Amino acid sequence: MEPISCTVLVLGGGPAGYVCAIRAGQLGLDVVLVEARHLGGTCLNIGCIPSKALIHAADQFYLARRFAAGTAPGVRVAEPTFDLPETMAWKDGIVSKLRGGVFGLLRRAKVKVVTGTGVLRDGKTCLVETETGDQMITAEHVVIATGSEPVSLPNLPFGGPVVSSAEALSFDTLPQRLVVVGGGYIGLELGTAFAKLGSAVTVVEATERILPQYDAELTRPVLSRLEKLGVRVLLKAKALGLDSAGTALKVMPDGGEEERISADKILMTVGRRPRLEGYGLAELDLEMNGTAIWIDDQCRTSMRNVWAIGDVTGEPMLEHRAVAQGEMVAEIIAGHKRSFDKVAIPAVCFTDPEIASAGLSPDEARSAGLPIKVGTFPFAANGRAATLGSEDGFVRIVARTDNHVILGIQAVGQGVSELSGSFALALEMGARLEDVAGTIHVHPTLSECLREAAAAALGQPLHA
Amino acid sequence: MAERVIKLPDIGEGVAEVEIAELPVSVGEMVREGDVLASVLTDKATVEIPSPTDGRVVWIGFEVGDKAAVGSRLMTLEVAEAAGEAKSDRGKAAPAAAETAIAASAEAQAQQLLAATLAKSPPPVAPSARGEATAAQMTAPPPTPPMVRTTAPSGSARPERPLASPAVRARARDAGVDLRFVKGSGPAGRILHEDIEAYIAGRGETRPAPGLVPNTSIEEIKVVGLRRKIAQRMQDTKRRVPHFSYIEEVDVTDLEALRTDVNANRKPGQPKLTVLPFLMRALVVALRDYPQLNTRYDDDTDVLHRYGGVHIGIAIQTPNGLMVATVRHAEARTIWDCASEVQRLSEAARSGTISREELAGSTITITSLGPLGGLASTPVINAPEVAIIGVNKIAIRPVWRGTSFEPRKVMNLSSSFDHRIIDGWDAAQFIQRLRSLLESPAKIFMET
């Protein structure tokens, strides 16, 4: 095939890559995007979107079961049923619709999409194995956006009943007994959903807490909810491997005796690693930062005009970070002055209840040596939370003592994921407690708790 | 991992000591085979020392500006075990011998690479910014363990950063303003749009100064590289060589007429002639009668080397400073050949690709500032030569021609001589001979 020559070659069509390609195309650059599988990457195909679809379906079914049990607000239904294949088909429909949307955006931005596995020959050329033959592409700029992949434990390799989150989002039958190894956000989100759908779920976590990156105060409502859902949580427990029949997981609990937990499926959510194999990245011999590609604050790698964005650059492996990086790199290549100068990369955990966080937690701020004051407001004192029947959780705000500049905002509670945008906005704008406390928040909404938390930090709470 | 010592290779031509001109790498930085580890300055040129292997710089023996002897330890690289394999293979029997063998082979390799790059030694490169970034990164927290936890909770909110909204930050970046230098007038020192606009408006030299202000700044500029070399040589020459200068006026009307005519009718591919190639040919002819001027005086051994060939040094101003390139065997070159060679050498000197050989070995030097040549000058001899011919600018002046003043094209020659070797009488005779050749240029060619 005729070699293609372009200005920007984006390797990988996930959120980082496709956003970079679209923005570069919008800015008039000549762009080629190479993707071996589906556009949209992990997030759209086997991550955020399908998992949130499944979580929503599980919540709906769980609610219906509560209606049937007569616990909810006077609504009664007959015994609800759940059809996993139908839910999966609905989920697949959402995914393919969004994927089509990405394709349309790329086309409108005049991005040439080449389907196949791209292998970099050097910092300027890439050989793509396509269905119709080898395609050579030369580019002035190469953007590496190859993403990440789930890792397993050495004694529990993927295969048989041991699956990653990708397979769990495409189960054809509901596992009766599901063991989740790794109590991070991916494991707990899916574990909770399957528990609500009727699986008997056990979570095996090696450290002493679930969601170890959050503080105990934030995770406590999640832990108590897991207990109510009948999820067994083993902390400080070691997954040793499958038993000989392959139907149970051998676990060494903290200080206890080795235990066998019967399982139809074992979901491994112990982490993700940058995907580096098979793209010729070894040839480039880029500087690394641990297992990730080293980048500077403009996503430049150690090689001139070779850029890296998204999960391949390491933690935090979050879609919105990847998108911000992709957009920035496109603009830098187009000659704009940009750098990654975000005050905060907010994060949300779609457990039950949800956790939203932006900026520093009280512990992080204290260990940074900052004098802080903390304001907390519970959803139990919020009218909207009462009418939603979910009074668990709180909003917490961390600010400097001296000038009241907000350093971080966290919340746990039903629906707090939608508050995360205002948390990040307050931090990026450099808001002080008075700014938030002086802003009218609509009644009756959960957002009032943010204002109340700021007022509490100022020592002027109204409703507490 | 194994360590590999990179020694300063022999640059050739009996150079025993060099000056470290550039160190584009820093400790901790990864280098690849062929990357430039250092640029060194010999008497004449800059030579790059390439890395013979891939590795990480763990030790650097010199700083920029240091003098280093050939064979001294320049750097230590940490290299992958594969590269140091020989050590473990041969090491059991005679570790010391193996060590030497590795060092020797490393040196040989460096030598080969050097030979490849010696022909063209580009101008020194500035130390890369990335080098510094990498060095900074080395001190950063240790890399994350291979088994990473699911996700970090949030990005870092660094409170020491200037407080400003994303829109203000974007405005600052576009305007090239570092927000750390902008005073914020908003609450808690937040930088507002007004603050940054005020900063931009008040910045820079475009603002008219309120009256005349004394500038009390003193900048310290380290004299390194070529400039230091020039300084030393000038100092040395002026201290050791008793100069005397002799200035004479030359009527170049006929020469200019000839030159104009030749240039107008030159063949394709022939260079445009300046006065310089005519002067070079005239020198060749004049030096036949005054061979004591075409010499190099070794005053350490009191030996005067008288050369049969005329190797004319041409002073060339380059972006880095003054260089003298040598047109070898001018006696065997036509006027066109002289012109082409001067042009080639000038371009090579200015682009930094000139070789050491091309900067050495002249027996007499011409210095010319062209239209900037002034009325007269007192050039410094390019020791160990004993004479230098300075060319001043051509001007039309009234000249008494027996019955009347006539407008004539006139040029001064300002020359300096080493009085230890050259007597004033000889110098004057020589310049008069040169003058007579230049005033009747046909003689330059008749006597060839």
- Nearest-CB residue to B150 (from A186, A336, A345): A186
| B309-319 pLDDT tens trace | 999 999 998 88
Domain range list for chain A: 4-46+88-149+273-333, 162-270, 347-457
B293 has pLDDT over 80 = yes
Minimum Cα–Cα distance from B171: chain A residue: A337
- Please name the residue ranges forming H helices in A237-379: 281-284, 319-333, 362-367
Which residue range forms the structural domain that includes residue B235? 229-446
Q: What are the chain A neighbours of B141 within 8 Å (beta carbons)?
A: none
Question: Whole-angstrom Cα distance, residue B285 to residue B334?
Answer: 12
Select the more confidently predicted residue: B29 or B444. B444
Question: Whole-angstrom Cα distance, residue A404 to residue A371?
Answer: 10
Q: How far apart are the first and last CA of chain A?
A: 71
**CA neighbor of B367 nearest in space, from B275, B445, B438:** B275
Q: Are B72 and B61 contacting, i.e. CB atoms less than 8 angstroms apart?
A: yes
Contact assignment for B165 to A429 by CB distance below 8 Å: yes
Contact assignment for A347 to B153 by CB distance below 8 Å: yes
B214: which residues sit within 8 A by CB, 6+ positions away? none
Cα B223 from chain centroid (whole Å): 13
Distance from CA of B389 to the nearest CA of A (A): 48
Q: What are the chain B neighbours of A285 within 8 Å (beta carbons)?
A: 32, 54
Q: Is A359 left (phi over 0), alpha (psi -120 to 50) or beta?
A: left
Distance from CA of B244 to the nearest CA of A (A): 55
Q: Are B395 and B409 contacting, i.e. CB atoms less than 8 angstroms apart?
A: yes
Confidence at residue B206, expressed as pLDDT on a 0 to 100 scale: 44
Confidence at residue B13, expressed as pLDDT on a 0 to 100 scale: 58
- Nearest-CB residue to A213 (from B134, B151, B165): B151
Question: Whole-angstrom Cα distance, residue A404 to residue A423?
Answer: 15
Distances (CA, A) of A463 to A441, A448, B396: 14, 10, 99
Distance from CA of A362 to the nearest CA of B (A): 12
Q: Does B134 touch chain A (CB under 8 A)?
A: yes
Pick the CATH number of A347-457 from 3.40.50.300, 3.20.20.70, 3.30.70.120, 3.30.390.30: 3.30.390.30
**ipTM above 0.90 for this complex:** no
Sign of CA dihedral A39, A41, A43, A49: positive
Q: Over the range A224-251, which residues count as b (16 or more CB within 10 Å of their CB) and which as e?
A: ebbeeeebebbbebbbbebeeeeebbbb
- CATH topology identical between A4-46+88-149+273-333 and A162-270: yes
Mean pLDDT in consecutive groups of 10 residues from the start of chain A, 464 residues: 93 97 97 95 95 96 92 88 95 96 96 95 92 94 96 92 95 96 96 97 95 94 95 94 91 88 95 93 89 96 95 96 97 94 95 96 94 96 92 96 95 96 96 94 96 94 73
Q: Are A297 and A340 contacting, i.e. CB atoms less than 8 angstroms apart?
A: yes
Confidence at residue B43, expressed as pLDDT on a 0 to 100 scale: 66
The residue out of B107, B137, B167 marking a domain boundary is B137
Q: How sure is the predictor about B76, in pLDDT bands with cuts at 50, 70 and 90?
A: confident
Structure tokens, A384: 């909207």
Contact assignment for A285 to B161 by CB distance below 8 Å: no
Contact assignment for B148 to A271 by CB distance below 8 Å: yes
When pLDDT is averaged across residues B123-145 and rounded to a whole number, the result is: 42
Q: How sure is the predictor about B44, in pLDDT bands with cuts at 50, 70 and 90?
A: low
B60 has pLDDT over 60 = yes
Minimum Cα–Cα distance from A321: chain B residue: B155
Distance from CA of A328 to the nearest CA of B (A): 12
Distances (CA, A) of A136 to A32, A106, A129, A303, A312: 12, 21, 9, 20, 23
- Nearest-CB residue to A273 (from B32, B148, B169): B148
Q: What are the chain B neighbours of A212 within 8 Å (beta carbons)?
A: 149
When pLDDT is averaged across residues B322-337 and rounded to a whole number, the result is: 93
Q: What are the chain A neighbours of B154 within 8 Å (beta carbons)?
A: 316, 344-347, 357-360, 408
| B393-404 pLDDT tens trace | 999 999 998 899
Confidence at residue A3, expressed as pLDDT on a 0 to 100 scale: 92
Q: Are B149 and A213 contacting, i.e. CB atoms less than 8 angstroms apart?
A: yes
Which range among A162-166, B201-205, B306-310 shows the weakest confidence by mean pLDDT? B201-205
| Catalytically active residues of B, by annotation | 419, 423
Q: How sure is the predictor about B448, in pLDDT bands with cuts at 50, 70 and 90?
A: low
Sign of CA dihedral A17, A21, A22, A24: positive
Tell me the percentage of chain B whose pLDDT exceeds 90: 39
Reply yes or no: is the peptide bond before residue B142 cis, omega within 30 of 0. no
DSSP H/E element including A53: helix A48-69
Q: Are A360 and A408 contacting, i.e. CB atoms less than 8 angstroms apart?
A: yes
Q: How sure is the predictor about B258, in pLDDT bands with cuts at 50, 70 and 90?
A: very high
Question: Whole-angstrom Cα distance, residue A311 to residue A145?
Answer: 8
Minimum Cα–Cα distance from A289: chain B residue: B143
Minimum Cα–Cα distance from A371: chain B residue: B159
Q: What are the chain A neighbours of B167 within 8 Å (beta carbons)?
A: none
Residue B427 resides in a domain:
yes
Question: Whole-angstrom Cα distance, residue B435 to residue B254?
Answer: 12
Select the more confidently predicted residue: A225 or B62. A225
Structure tokens, A53: 């679809």
Q: What are the chain A neighbours of B157 within 8 Å (beta carbons)?
A: 343-344, 359-360, 407-408, 427
Question: Whole-angstrom Cα distance, residue A432 to residue A365?
Answer: 16
Specify whether B253 is located in the same domain as B112. Answer: no
What CATH number was assigned to the domain covering residues A162-270?
Answer: 3.50.50.60
Contact assignment for A302 to B130 by CB distance below 8 Å: yes
Contact assignment for B148 to A272 by CB distance below 8 Å: yes
The residue out of B118, B137, B156 marking a domain boundary is B137
Q: What are the chain B neighbours of A150 within 8 Å (beta carbons)?
A: none
Distances (CA, A) of B353 to B18, B317, B326, B350, B357: 19, 14, 14, 8, 12
Q: Are A20 and A345 contacting, i.e. CB atoms less than 8 angstroms apart?
A: no
Contact assignment for B147 to A294 by CB distance below 8 Å: no
DSSP H/E element including B388: strand B387-400
Structure tokens, B46: 């800059």
Beta bridge partners of B366: B314, B389
Q: What are the chain B neighbours of A302 within 8 Å (beta carbons)?
A: 30, 130, 134
Contact assignment for B155 to A182 by CB distance below 8 Å: no
- Nearest-CB residue to B143 (from A272, A289, A435): A289
Structure tokens, A193: 């959903």
Distances (CA, A) of B425 to B142, B244, B415: 77, 12, 14
Q: How sure is the predictor about B97, in pLDDT bands with cuts at 50, 70 and 90?
A: very low
Residue with tokens 């609509």: A442
CATH (domain of B35): 2.40.50.100
| Beta-carbon count within 10 A of B280 CB | 26
Contact assignment for B150 to A288 by CB distance below 8 Å: no
Q: Which of residues 366-405 of B touch A (CB under 8 A)?
A: none
Confidence at residue B156, expressed as pLDDT on a 0 to 100 scale: 43
Burial of B160 by CB count in 10 Å (0-12 exposed, 13-18 middle, 19+ buried)?
A: exposed
Minimum Cα–Cα distance from B142: chain A residue: A290
Confidence at residue B1, expressed as pLDDT on a 0 to 100 scale: 64
| Beta-carbon count within 10 A of B405 CB | 10
Confidence at residue B187, expressed as pLDDT on a 0 to 100 scale: 83
Question: Whole-angstrom Cα distance, residue A324 to residue A341?
Answer: 10
Contact assignment for A288 to B157 by CB distance below 8 Å: no
B123 has pLDDT over 60 = no
Distances (CA, A) of B207 to B172, B182, B200, B204, B273: 19, 18, 11, 7, 48
**Helix pair B424-439, B275-287: axis angle to 10 deg:** 130
Contact assignment for A291 to B163 by CB distance below 8 Å: no
Minimum Cα–Cα distance from A296: chain B residue: B133
Q: How far apart are the first and last CA of chain B?
A: 68
Burial of B392 by CB count in 10 Å (0-12 exposed, 13-18 middle, 19+ buried)?
A: buried
Contact assignment for B143 to A269 by CB distance below 8 Å: no
**CA neighbor of B388 nearest in space, from B289, B247, B236, B277:** B247
Residue B256 resides in a domain:
yes
When pLDDT is averaged across residues B128-132 and rounded to a whole number, the result is: 42
Residue-averaged pLDDT of chain B: 79
> Best residue in A341, A401, A432 to probe B by mutation, most B CBs within 10 Å?
A341
For chain A, the maximum distance between any two Cα atoms, rounded to a whole number of angstroms, is: 71
Contact assignment for B155 to A434 by CB distance below 8 Å: no
Q: Are A263 and A156 contacting, i.e. CB atoms less than 8 angstroms apart?
A: no
Structure tokens, A284: 């480039």
Distance from CA of B131 to the nearest CA of A (A): 9
Tell me the percentage of chain B whose pLDDT exceeds 70: 78
Question: Whole-angstrom Cα distance, residue B274 to residue B267?
Answer: 16
Specify whether B251 is located in the same domain as B370. Answer: yes
Contact assignment for A338 to B173 by CB distance below 8 Å: yes
Contact assignment for B150 to A292 by CB distance below 8 Å: no
Residue B78 resides in a domain:
yes
| Selection from B8-17, B45-54, B330-339 with the highest mean pLDDT | B330-339
* Superfamily in which the A4-46+88-149+273-333 domain is placed by CATH: FAD/NAD(P)-binding domain (3.50.50.60)
CATH (domain of B391): 3.30.559.10
Q: Are A431 and A447 contacting, i.e. CB atoms less than 8 angstroms apart?
A: no
Cα A257 from chain centroid (whole Å): 35
Q: Which of residues 292-351 of B touch A (CB under 8 A)?
A: none
φ/ψ (deg, to 5) at B121:
-110, 100
Number of structural domains chain B divides into: 2
Q: What are the chain B neighbours of A182 within 8 Å (beta carbons)?
A: 150
B94 has pLDDT over 50 = no
Q: Enter the DSSP assignment of B359.
A: G
Contact assignment for A271 to B149 by CB distance below 8 Å: yes
Q: What are the chain A neighbours of B176 within 8 Å (beta carbons)?
A: 337
Confidence at residue B322, expressed as pLDDT on a 0 to 100 scale: 87
Distance from CA of A458 to the nearest CA of B (A): 15
Q: Is B277 left (phi over 0), alpha (psi -120 to 50) or beta?
A: alpha
Q: What are the chain B neighbours of A287 within 8 Å (beta carbons)?
A: 30, 134, 137
The residue out of B100, B122, B137 marking a domain boundary is B137
| Catalytically active residues of A, by annotation | 443
CB pairs under 8 A between A and B: 129
Residue B395 resides in a domain:
yes
- Nearest-CB residue to B152 (from A292, A315, A429): A315
Structure tokens, B262: 């030749």
Q: What are the chain B neighbours of A407 within 8 Å (beta carbons)?
A: 157, 159
